[in-house]
Amino acid sequence: MFKKKKEKKKKLLSPVTTMLLLIVIALISSSWLAILNVDSTETTIENGILETSIVVVQNIFSKEGITYFFSNVITNFTLLQPFVLLILSFMAVSIAKSSGLLKHIFSPLRRIKSHILTFIVIFISVIATIIGDYSYIILLPLVAVMYQYVNKSPVLGVITVFIGITLGYGTGIFYNYNDYALGMLTQAAAVIDVDSSYKFDLYSNIYIMIASTIAISFILTALVEKYLSKRISSSEKYSDDLVISKKAFTGSLLTLILSLIGCLFLITPNGILLDETQTHYVAKLFSPTSPFNLSFMFIFLIIVSLVSLVYGILSKNFKNNHDFGWAFAKEFNNVGYLFVLLFLASILIGIIDWTNLGVVLANRLVSLISLFDFTGILLIIITFIFIILMSILIPGSIEKWALISPILVPLFMRGNLTPDFAQFVFKAADSVGKIITPLFIYFIITVGFIQKYNNNENKVTLFNTMKLIWPIVLTMIVFWLLILIVWYVAGLPLGFDTLATM
C-alpha cells in the first residue's frame, strides 16, 4: 500500500494509542491551565449589542469536571452525527456495489489516464461541498470502491477525496449553507460596529471562488500525482464475479430519474421538507432544523437502494431476497477500527469543549491580532496564520467565526478591507487548518478508512497520515496567500460589485 523505504524500524503509535495520549494531554493541560487561572476576553453579539465576557479554562479534575466526564462519555458518542450517517452511507454503497451497479459505472474508468482520474475526483470533491459535510460521508466510501475497480489503491482515493473536500471548503463554485451562515455572522459584525448599511450578498465572492476552484483542482491534481501516487501503490488487483448488464443499467437509470423527480417535488419552494422558519432557500434546505437536511442520508439510502435493487434483479446479481438483505452489510468489513476511533474522538472533543481550551486560544489569538496596528498585506498574512492555529482546537467553521468575527470583521474594515474579503480569508485559512488537526472528525474518519483498506504492509498512524499530506498542505498555504495578496494588490473584484478594499 505505502511504498517501503529502506530505513531503520521505528516504534510507531497506532491511531488508538495516539488518541488516548491526546485525551490524557487534554486532561492534564486543562488542569494545569485552570490552576494558573488562564482566561480570555470574549466578544459576542447579543440582541444587536456587543457584549464582553471573561472565559476561563475549566479544570476537568474538579468535581464538576469529573461529573461531566463520566456523565457524558456515552452521550457525546451517541450525539456524534457522522457516526450514524456513516452507517447509512456504508449501507448505500454496499448495496450499490453488491448489485453490480458500481462495477458497471466504475470499471470503464480503467481506460482513463491517472492524472485525469485524479482531476475528476478532486473537482467533484470541491463541487460536492455544496451539500456540506455529506460530501465526506458519501464520497469517502464511494471513491474507495471506485479506486478498487480501476485497480488503484483505495487508500489513495480516500486521501485524495479528503484533501479535495477539505481544501475545497475554502472555495467552491456554488455557495452552500456554510457560506450563508458565515455571511450572516459577517453582516452582524459589520453592522454593529462599523457600517450599519452593510448587507451580505451570497455572490459577493463568486469570482474569486470560481477562479480558486479551477486553480485548486489543477494544483491538487499535480500534487497528488507527484507526492501521493508515488508513495501509495496498489499491490492487489481487485475482481469479483458480478455481472454487468446494459439492460439492468437502463432500468436503474430510469428508476434514478423517477426517484430524483419525486425528491425534487419535496424540496420545491413550497416543498414539505423545507424549513419554513428561514427566509433564504439554501437555509430552508440545509439549516440544522430543515427536514430535508435531517433526512438527507435516509433519502440518499432509499434512492440508492431502489436503483440498486432494480439493477441487481435485472442483472440477476440478486438471485433471492437473502442476497438483497445481505447486500446492505458487505461493506462493513474492517470498519470496527473506525468506530473505535470515532468513540475516542468524541471523548477528546467533549473534553476540549467543556474545558474551553479552544475558545480561550481563539480569543487570545484574535485579541493579539487586534492589539497590533496591522493593515493591508501584513494583516492578511497574520490573520491567515492565526486562523490556521485556531483551527487546531476549533475545527468547526461556524463556531470559530462566531467567536472571532465580532473583532476581526471591524478590524478589517478599519484597515480598508471589506467584510466579504475578511470572510474569504477566513474560509481559505480555515480549510487549511482543518486538514491537519485530529480534532476534525473527518480527519479521524479518513484515518479509519485508511486502516480499513490497509494491507498491513505498513502500520497506519495519525502522524504518518499527516506527514503524507504535509507537502500538499504547505503548498496550499503558499497558494492561498498568493491568491489573497494578488487579489488585494491588483484590486480585482471578488464578486458582483465587491472588491477586497472598501
- Answer yes or no: is 270 within a domain: yes
Contact call for residues 498 and 205 (beta carbons, < 8 A): yes
pLDDT in tens, 346-394: 999 999 999 999 899 888 888 888 887 778 899 999 999 999 999 988 9
- Answer yes or no: is 484 within a domain: yes
- Answer yes or no: is 68 within a domain: no
Least trusted range by pLDDT, from 6-20, 76-90, 310-324? 6-20
Give pLDDT, residue 3: 53
Work out the pLDDT band at 461, boundaries 50, 70, 90.
confident
Give pLDDT, residue 457: 60
- Answer yes or no: is 48 within a domain: no
For 265-285, what is the mean pLDDT?
Answer: 89
β-strand partners of 51:
44
The SS3 assignment for 52 reads strand
User: How many other CB atoms are found less than 10 A from the CB of residue 260?
Assistant: 11
Separation of alpha carbons 90 and 305, rounded Å: 12
- Answer yes or no: is 12 within a domain: no
- Answer yes or no: is 9 within a domain: no
Separation of alpha carbons 365 and 362, rounded Å: 5
Contact call for residues 57 and 357 (beta carbons, < 8 A): yes
Long-range contacts of 198-204 (CB under 8 A, 24+ apart): 198/419, 200/419, 200/420, 201/420, 201/495, 201/496, 201/498, 202/175, 202/280, 202/282, 203/175, 203/495, 203/496, 204/420, 204/494, 204/495, 204/496, 204/497, 204/498
pLDDT in tens, 25-45: 999 999 999 999 988 888 888
Give pLDDT, residue 234: 66
Contact call for residues 422 and 380 (beta carbons, < 8 A): no
Give pLDDT, residue 192: 85
Q: What is the DSSP string of 440-472?
A: SHHHHHHHHHHHHH--SSS---HHHHHHHHHHH
Reported as type and span, the H/E element at residue 312 is: helix 296-315
- Answer yes or no: is 63 within a domain: no
Mean pLDDT of the chain: 89
Which of 235, 231, 214, 234 minimizes the C-alpha distance to 470? 231
Q: State which residues form the domain around 436.
A: 82-499
Give pLDDT, residue 477: 93
Q: What is the DSSP letter of 242?
A: P
- How remote is the C-alpha of 389 from its chain's centroid? 17
Number of domains the chain is built from: 1
For 298-322, what is the mean pLDDT?
Answer: 94
Which of 226, 228, 217, 223 minimizes the C-alpha distance to 121? 217
